[in-house]
Structure 1
Amino acid sequence: MAEDIKDQNCELKAKLPAKYDWYQTEQAVVVTVLVKNVKEEFLKVNISESIVRIDITLPDFEAFTLSFSLSRKIVPDQSSYKLTPSKVEIKLKKLEGVQWDKLEGTSATEGIKTIPKDPIPQLSGPPSYPTSKKGKDWSAVEKEIKKQEELEKPEGEEAINKLFQEIYGKGSDEVKRAMNKSYMESGGTVLSTNWDEISKEKVQVKPPDGMEFKKWHE
């Protein structure tokens, strides 16, 4: 009976909303898996010279696996992956500096097809990259990645620092002088943008409530 309940719970798990695409440069093939909020502990990436496998095991979703039998060999020791809150990006170092006609399976290319070092520039729009699908608009995928990254809002101290940076970058000379003077004279406990007020006298140290300010040698 307990086994039946366990099986039912497994069936209720949703499929992980993830999709992938790929592009290539002269030296590498880059596979991008668009998936949100995956922590390192739930991710496993295995890279060999001809096979790449990605396993994601989030508690609330069915186990997710992607496995690629690569059309050409790579150099595993010089390949790597990067995890962000919106994607997993896997960079595969090519064994040969040739263009892949597809990501998986046996390459249909006869002989070596060298990638030109100076490609013909596009007249307008973002650069287009060869992909696993003929005519695939990689720019659309790239825009979606950027959109996901923009939604990753900083929190806590990181958010405060970003706000101060934006104020300083967009502020007038007086705002910048006020911020610099108040921060330096107060030992980092005061940050003001009001130059008329800050310029009149030395800014006093104002530690947070319940804390006492001491110099480093005290």
Structure 2
Amino acid sequence: MATIRHEFYETDEKLTLSIFDKGADPEQVKITFEPRKFTYVNGEKSLVLEPLKGQIDPAKSDYTVGKVKVEVRFAKMAQGRWGALVGDSPDPLASAPVSAAPASPAPRRPRKNWDGITNEILESEKPVSPDEDPNAGGDAAVNEFFKKLYADADEDTRRAMMKSFQESGGTTLSTNWEEVKKSKVEVKPPEGSEWKKWAV
């Protein structure tokens, strides 16, 4: 019997095996799932994988017969990367230091780190960038910064922010209620600009 060309890719939860058997007839294909063994037979062609690197759940594993290939989906009993289809390791996680070390932690770590790094950058940028340069992130970033500032503030700070912003025509934003409550907040246009009241 001829062994068929095949390849696989995996996630922590499942492994997908592609068997390149062009024009396979779904009626003729025989597939058997066992906890540590997989058998594919189509006429003279066959593929037997034993022992599988990790244990699978035969009830949750399935396959589809396509025009070019047969796609088989193994449902893993234990989460983790196998790194190979077959191998003597009763527990795929226990074998990680020996054979699955490069495949196991490596793909998972960068994903987590990138998320963490992205969040860290976003967290640090929100409050910092508008402070250093109000134009840094455009209006959206500035608005986000003020929304957060307002949401985290106490009642007096919120009152100060509202009063100063409204009375100054949006040119001043103060968080000091003791100072703001004493008198009307003056309009302070940016340097080099002139404040004009439009006639209604």
Query: Normalising TM by the smaller chain, what interval?
Result: 0.3 to 0.5
TM-score (norm 2): 0.45
Report which structure shows greater RCO (CA 8 Å, sep ≥6). 1
TM-score (norm 1): 0.42
Larger gyration radius, structure 1 or structure 2 = 2
* Higher helix proportion: 2
